[in-house]
Structure 1
Amino acid sequence: MKLILTNEVSGLGAPGDVVEVKDGYGRNYLIPRGFAIRWSRGGEKQIESIKKARDAREIRDLGTAKEVAGQLGALKVKLATRAGDSGRLFGSVTTGDVADAVKAAGGPILDRRRIEIVNPIKSLGSHKVSVKLHPEVSASIDVEVIAG
């Protein structure tokens, strides 16, 4: 099945890429979740607008990505959230919460779709979060979750 990606899919491609996937993967996962649309001649015209939107959000070059990674490495991010007496959170910390906390701490504005939380953050304390800034550059952020 031939698809046009509308969002970044790890291990598959970036928005605007035309990919060939198994029928079930496309029909049952990518299309219903809005990660892709079916390829067609009319869809080819949408590729340019998808790529323009991606370029506006993306960090331009490798040097800039390394500079932003350095800024993120030196940043102390504190995230205040509601928690119970035992230190367990009511809910969990999302990528949007992390992006807002980085911005509030004086860091660069990050796209929440680039932030990867490997293990769900459901307790108080220090946690590692990775950010994919560029295809070749990833940064790690220490997020201190405190009761607030």
Structure 2
Amino acid sequence: MEIILLERIEKLGGIGDVVTVKTGFARNFLLPNNKALRANDTNRKLFEANRGKIEADNAERRTDAEGRAKDIDGKQIVLIRQASNTGQLYGSVSVRDIVDALIEDGVAGVTKAMVELERPIKSLGLVDVKVKLHPEVAVTVGVNVARSPDEAEMQKQGIDVIQAMFEEEHAEAVATALEPDSEDEFDDATPPSEIAAEEAPADDAEEA
């Protein structure tokens, strides 16, 4: 399907460009979200008649997004989740979770459509997520998924929590293996009482 873009679309083009896209993409996303018009004679004339206003509105939204980006870019949100000792979450972190966390952190005006997450997050750790405040303005938000605030702080400092846990468990196992066994100690050395008992007959014989 041929369409006229009403805003910049990554990998497609900019405002006013006439491009060909799959029909499903146009009908399910571009057209209902007012990102494009069908490329027919009527819409071409309509676009040209309103081109100045469309471009001016876009520039205003871009300027607003650029101002907001300064406060959002590089921000890190913390999501506390239950997980196994291998770091796998009991569940996952979705786009909705990220949006809710941003709003709770004071970032207004973020919608699910702005968050680019290829797949749900299913393990502990830090994940960089792109948030498009405008078709031409994107920021990166850090998502810190941890089992507790303390672990989140460790991850923020660059510590691999799961690796640190494994190393601690390994160190404890080695220390336990190296601890002397009290029973073995008595087996290797003759108790003083037995030594005294063995020496006693010899002393009695000398006295006789």
- The AA in structure 2 aligned to 1:60 is R
CA contact (8 A) 1:129 1:142 kept: yes
The residue aligned with 1:30 is 25
Q: Percent identity?
A: 29
TM-score by length of 2: 0.47
1:4 CA drift (Å): 6.0
CA 1:73 to 1:10, structure 2 compared with 1: closer, same or farther past 3 Å? Answer: closer
Q: 1 or 2, which has the higher helix percentage?
A: 2
* TM-score using structure 1 length: 0.62
Cα distance in 2, alignment partners of residues 7 and 82 from structure 1: 41
Q: Is the 8 A contact 1:77 1:142 kept in 2?
A: yes
Matches within 5 A, 1:118-137: 118=118, 120-137=120-137
Number of equivalences: 137
What amino acid sits opposite 1:128 in the alignment? D
Any residues of structure 2 matched to 1:32-47 within 5 Å, and which? 33-36=28-31
Task: Kindly indicate which of the two structures has a greater share of residues assigned to strand.
Answer: 1
Give the superposed CA RMSD: 3.9
Contact 2:82 2:90 in 1 (8 A): yes
Task: Give the residue type in structure 2 aligned to 1:20.
Answer: V
Partner of 1:60: 61
Q: Deviations over 1:61-105 (max 9, x none)?
A: 42x323312211363311234433422124432222211111112
Which of these two proteins has the greater Rg computed from alpha carbons? Answer: 2
**Ranges in structure 2 where 5+ consecutive residues have no aligned partner:** 32-36, 149-208
